Amino acid sequence: MPPEHVKWLLEQPPAVMSSKTIREERHASGYLHIGVEFESTEFFLERIMRDRLTKYLDLVQEPMHDEIKNAFDADFANYARDGMPVNIFPALQKVILQAICRVFFGPELTQDRRFMLVYYRYILAMSIGTMVIGQLPRFLKSIMVPAFNLPLWYYRTRTMKLLVPVVKHRLDLANDETDPYDFISQCAKVSQRISSTKTAADPAHLAECMMLLVSLESNV
């Protein structure tokens, strides 16, 4: 940017400089994810990435390393034993998703094949919907959205059904101060800190925020 324009840029109000409208159209967040409160969710995601993931990056290295090793040993060993060729892209997709889920959700859910399957399909439905709906002209989006929202709602509901009880259990342990450091507890602390009422985190809302965060990180 030319130096003479810097002052003008700094004087512009946030409403003018915001890319929110463009992002909502490009990412189709105003059309997909019906019922999700994106404004508060985006603020939460920014805070959790800044205050926890960046600041305490060293704490995620060990669980990621363990899960990558477990995934390679479990899946690639089968290929080697059976003498089958390895389909690299889906195999690495699975390894990456498992490693990320281990950090955010812990080993209990990561080793649950049912959870990993429905969550993977939720991410896939969200990715396809975002890619297709985000590219359409606005007048076509409202016509095409129901076809993408139905599978997205279905897999979101199934994922939440498995995830929310685990989040609630972790929050109860954290309140009793018997739970070691884990990401769910840290998300709850950030959620309470940024809440205007300073109330305890709602397990369902926290679970949904974490689902969106993992889907953004995995970028399946």
pLDDT tens-place string over residues 55-106: 777 777 888 888 888 877 777 766 666 667 777 777 788 888 888 888 888 8
CB neighbour list of residue 160: distance below 8 Å, 6 or more residues apart: 204, 207, 208, 211
In a domain, 198, yes or no: yes
**What's the pLDDT at 165?**
92
Question: Rounded mean pLDDT of the chain?
Answer: 76
Q: Which ranges of the chain have pLDDT less than 70?
A: 15, 17-44, 52, 77-83, 174-181, 194-200, 216-220
**What's the pLDDT at 56?**
72
CB neighbour list of residue 163: distance below 8 Å, 6 or more residues apart: 105, 109, 115, 119, 207, 210, 211
Cα dihedral 103, 39, 175, 108 sign? negative
Residue 138 lies in domain: 36-218
**What's the pLDDT at 114?**
93
In a domain, 9, yes or no: no
**What's the pLDDT at 161?**
94
**What's the pLDDT at 60?**
76
Measured at the CA of 98, the angle between CA 205 and CA 92, to 5 degrees, comes to: 135
In a domain, 25, yes or no: no
In a domain, 214, yes or no: yes
Q: How many domains in the chain?
A: 1
In a domain, 164, yes or no: yes
d(CA 216, CA 220) in angstroms, rounded, equals 8
d(CA 70, CA 205) in angstroms, rounded, equals 30
In a domain, 103, yes or no: yes
**What's the pLDDT at 102?**
87
In a domain, 10, yes or no: no
CA distances, 3 to each of 10, 46, 89 (Å): 12, 29, 45
Structure pTM?
0.73
User: How is residue 90 written in tokens?
Assistant: 């889906």
d(CA 111, CA 1) in angstroms, rounded, equals 50
Alpha-carbon dihedral angle through residues 213, 137, 142, 20, given to the nearest 10 degrees: 40
d(CA 147, CA 136) in angstroms, rounded, equals 14
Q: Are 151 and 38 in contact (CB under 8 A)?
A: no
In a domain, 117, yes or no: yes
CB neighbour list of residue 89: distance below 8 Å, 6 or more residues apart: none
Q: Count CB atoms within 10 A of the CB of residue 31.
A: 22
